[in-house]
Amino acid sequence: MGEELSKSGATKAPDATGEKRGGLFRSTLIFSGMTQLSRILGLLRDILLARLFGADGATDAFFVAFKIPNFFRRLFAEGAFSQAFVPVLTEYKEQRSFNELQALVARTSGTLATVLFVITAVGWWVL
């Protein structure tokens, strides 16, 4: 019932996750295809922006304005902060009390909010 007959006559049983063999290859193809589609759409976006706005100081300022938030997203959401914070959070959750875990989250989120406020205030002041 949970098996599929292959061309050679052998059956393919689902693996431990319930997926049939070849699922990793299929997932890799989908992921790669979507990444390629994203790159192509990004190229089209850049061509359209260059066509509409041209190459001047205002366009450069526009692109720089988007690089700053993207840098912080990469740093905090996808990068070093996540890789450093998640193991510490897991350790607190498994080995310490709920109050200590809550204090860690409160201190961390408070610090990040303060840093964000300072960066925003400096950016507001500079402009």
Q: How many domains does the chain have?
A: 2
- For the cut 70, the answer to whether the pLDDT of residue 112 exceeds it is yes
* 115 and 101 part of one domain: yes
Same domain membership, residue 77 and residue 33: no
Same domain, 79 and 48: no
Please write the tens of the pLDDT for every residue from 7-23: 544 445 555 555 556 68
Q: What is the 3-state secondary structure (H, E, C) of the chain?
A: CCCEECCCCCEECCCCCCCCCCHHHHHHHHHHHHHHHHHHHHHHHHHHHHHHHCCCHHHHHHHHHHHHHHHHHHHHHHCHHHHHHHHHHHHHHHHCCHHHHHHHHHHHHHHHHHHHHHHHHHHHHHC
Tell me the per-residue pLDDT of 38-85, one tens digit each, with 9 for 90 and over. 999 999 988 898 888 887 888 888 888 888 788 877 777 777 777 888
Q: Are residues 74 and 95 in the same domain?
A: yes
| One domain, residues 48 and 60 | no
Instruction: Based on the fold, state whether residues 45 and 86 are members of the same structural domain.
Output: no
Residues 7, 40, single domain; the answer is yes
Expressed as residue numbers, the domain containing 46 is 1-54
The pTM (predicted TM-score) of the whole model is 0.46
